[in-house]
Chain A
Amino acid sequence: MTEAHRAPAFLADAWRIARKDLLIEFRTRSAFLAAAVFSVLAVVIFRFTWDPTAIPAVDLAPGVLWVIFTFSGLLGLNRSFGLELAERAYDGLLASQVSREAIFAGKVLANLVFVAAVQLLALPAVALFFDLPVGPAWWAVVAIVLLASLGLSAVGTLFAAIASNTRLAELLLPMMTLPFFVPLVIPAAQASAIVMRGQPLEDGLAWLKVLLAFDLVFVSACIVVFPFTIEE
């Protein structure tokens, strides 16, 4: 049985690392504020460049939503390993008995909470600016968003770890990450468009299955690959 399989210690270690990252973000608020400002500004820009007579709001809004989620998430990912490397605190973490897999899981969890917090702000902003009817169907949108965020956070965390060891981390991260975001964003955008149009969630079930499959593949693959990204 490998260290990664000792479930209670693994989960406790992952939670400890996530809590530490979130506490640092809560104290500094630098990445969250940047992502929040970006999200609101993007919604405003999309709103004022939108011609309602050409495209109905329900057709445009899902695209706007996912463009915002994708790029605002990147702002937090860079910080995820930046705070470890600033004073080489990462060395202390790697020298401890915490497994590499638990470090990864903790970072993904912290990034997931960060992305979810930004999305909680962006969702009502999009609904407000595009005058979308808010009803029970939005819970389905929230569920789709969270499902996609898991995959985005896993892929983003892995590439943030790789990019953090380079001098061009902030440039490399989007270049490496965005191609891998595509298989997650397409089914998520399609499924959320179906729900926002007022169609039943069952109509988007095929897209949800694709999204779930990519989540499973990306999360599993990233956990396996992450320990190899640490070695210098």
Chain B
Amino acid sequence: MQTPHGTGATGVASSVPIPPYPSATSGAPRPATAPRDPALEAQELVRVFGGRRAVNGISVTLAQGDCLALFGPNGAGKTTLLRLLGGLLTPNSGRTQLQGVTLPGPAATRRLVGLISHHAMLYPALTVRENVRFAAECQGVLDADGATTRALTRLRVIERADMPVRALSRGLQQRVSIARALVHGPRLVLLDEPYTGLDDVGARALTDALRDLREQGAVLVLTTHHLHEGLALATASAIMIGGRLVHTERAGAGDLDVRGYQERYRRLVQESHG
């Protein structure tokens, strides 16, 4: 076991669970939002593609207001894990529960999930407003027009609301995609490389929106190659290699040391190759 912050053990023999919050006597700062009952609980998730275990026995427990940053090299299984956590993929074994309901679950539970990817997940022929409103309507938002305007304002793309998405730059498309994912106020937000293609303004808008969501008690799970952005928001972090979590840490948001983490990440990736 490693210290400080209740750091989990490393190794590739089995997945390392996300450690619980450090106790008050450990000296580690608690996150602003105190944990309550587990909001997201995944147990022993296994997913096999063509004989290869893309996710191999991973368990994750996150409380309201938690943000798990998931790092790992390409092909580590991060996206598959994310899709399993959101109920978009069915595991070969294990299960994911969101607020006590096993995913994919009924419509009311699916509504709690928001998905952001490096793919725009938009319809290029529709306008910005039409895309976001369609998502709001699909999620059963009663005031879809109002929610659309608020989401576009928050992501600073309201002035382009009536432009077709295909006419926007990649960075602006990504901001619209984030507005689409957040328009219904999800309680679990899954982010797959969300900073890809974003300029500084977009990255700041995304970080602000995610921080607001986290402070409101939403659970965030984020995969990224950008350790700085990931660790700035994270209350927990994990390094995933070969379908397993080989290292986990928990700390207050922004308390994880980026430089030390970079070293550790590099060493673990090298060990997995060697």
In this assembly, does A93 line the interface, its C-beta being within 8 Å of a C-beta of chain B? yes
Judged by a CB distance under 8 angstroms, whether B1 is at the interface is no
Interface residues of A in 91-131 (CB under 8 A from B): 91-99
Residues of B within 8 A of A96 (CB): 110-111, 135, 138-139
Of B86-94, B200-208, B236-244, B258-266, the one touching chain A = B86-94
Rounded to whole angstroms, the CA-CA distance of A13 and B137 in the bound complex is 8
Main secondary structure of the interface of A (DSSP, over half): helix
B121 lies within 8 A of A87 (CB): yes
B132 to chain A, nearest CB (A): 11
Residues of B with C-beta under 8 A to A95? 86-88, 110, 113-115
CB of B184, distance to nearest CB on chain A (Å): 8
Shortest CB distance B18–A (Å):
23
Proximity string of chain A (206-232) to chain B, C-beta cutoff 8 Å, 1 when within and 0 when not: 000000000000000000000000011
Interchain CB contact under 8 A, A97 and B111:
yes
Query: B110–A89 contact, CB under 8 A?
Result: no
Q: Is the CB of A97 within 8 A of B110?
A: yes
**Which residues of B from 16 to 72 have beta carbons under 8 Å from A?**
49
Show 20 residue pairs from A and B whose CB-CB distance is below 8 angstroms, ordered by the A residue: A3-B106, A87-B121, A88-B117, A88-B119, A88-B121, A89-B122, A91-B88, A91-B117, A92-B115, A92-B121, A92-B138, A92-B180, A92-B181, A93-B138, A95-B113, A96-B110, A97-B108, A97-B138, A98-B107, A232-B49
Contact mask for chain B residues 174-195; partner A; CB cutoff 8 A; 1 contact, 0 none: 0000001100000000000000
Contact of B121 among A3, A20, A83, A91 (CB under 8 A): A91
Q: How far is the CA of A99 from the CA of B119 in the complex (A)?
A: 23
- Chain A residue with Cβ nearest B80: A232
Which of A16, A91, A97, A99: most chain B Cβ within 10 A?
A97
Q: How far is the CA of A92 from the CA of B122 in the complex (A)?
A: 9
A13 touches B138 (CB 8 A): yes
Taken together as a complex, chains A and B put the C-alpha atoms of A5 and B135 apart, in Å, by 22
Judge whether B134 and A24 touch: CB under 8 Å.
no
Interface status of A23 (Cβ within 8 A of chain B)? yes
Of B123-131, B152-160, B224-232, the one contacting chain A is B123-131
Contact B121 A16 (CB under 8 A): no
Q: Does A86 contact B (CB under 8 A)?
A: yes
Query: Told that A16-B138, A86-B124 touch, could you supply 14 new A-B pairs with CB distance under 8 A?
Result: A3-B107, A16-B134, A87-B122, A87-B123, A91-B115, A91-B117, A91-B121, A92-B135, A92-B180, A95-B110, A96-B138, A96-B139, A97-B111, A99-B107
Closest A residue, CB atoms, query B136:
A96
Contact-residue bracket for chain B: 20 to 34
**Neighbouring A residues of B114 by C-beta, 8 Å:** 95
> Is A167 an interface position by the 8 A CB rule?
no
User: Smallest CB–CB gap between A121 and chain B, Å?
Assistant: 22
User: Any chain B CB within 8 A of the CB of A28?
Assistant: yes
Q: Which residues 208-257 of B have a CB within 8 angstroms of A?
A: none
When chains A and B are docked, how far (Å) is the Cα of A95 from the Cα of B103?
11
A231 to B49, CA, bound (A): 12
- The answer to whether residues A87 and B124 also contact, given A97-B107, A97-B110, A97-B111 and a CB cut-off of 8 A, is yes
Query: A89 contacts which of B106, B123, B137 (Cβ < 8 Å)?
Result: B123
Output the least CB separation between B210 and chain A (Å).
Answer: 18
- The answer to whether A16 touches B123, judged by C-beta atoms less than 8 angstroms apart, is no
The answer on a CB contact under 8 Å between A16 and B137 is yes
Say yes or no: A232-B89 contact (C-beta < 8 A), given A95-B110, A96-B139. Answer: yes
Task: Give chain B nearest CB distance to A110 CB in angstroms.
Answer: 13
B120 is an interface residue with CB less than 8 A from chain A: yes
Chain A hits for B139, CB < 8 A: 96-97
CB nearest to A26 among chain B residues? B125
| Cα–Cα, bound, A9→B142 (Å) | 13
A231: B residues at CB distance < 8 A: 89-90
- Are B138 and A23 touching (Cβ within 8 A)? no
**How far is it, in angstroms, between the C-alpha of A91 and the C-alpha of B116 when the chains are bound?**
10
Residue of B nearest to A2 (CB): B106
Q: Note all chain B residues with C-beta closer than 8 A to A20.
A: 123, 126, 134
* Chain B CB within 10 A, most for which of A92, A94, A97: A92
A11 smallest CB distance to B (angstroms): 14
Contacts A91-B115, A91-B117, A232-B89; A98 near B138 (Cβ below 8 A): yes
Give which listed residue, A16, A28, A88, A91, contacts B125 with CB less than 8 A: A28
Determine the residue in chain A with the shortest Cβ distance to B164: A27
A64-105: CB near B (< 8 Å → 1, else 0) gives 000000000000000000010011110111111111000000
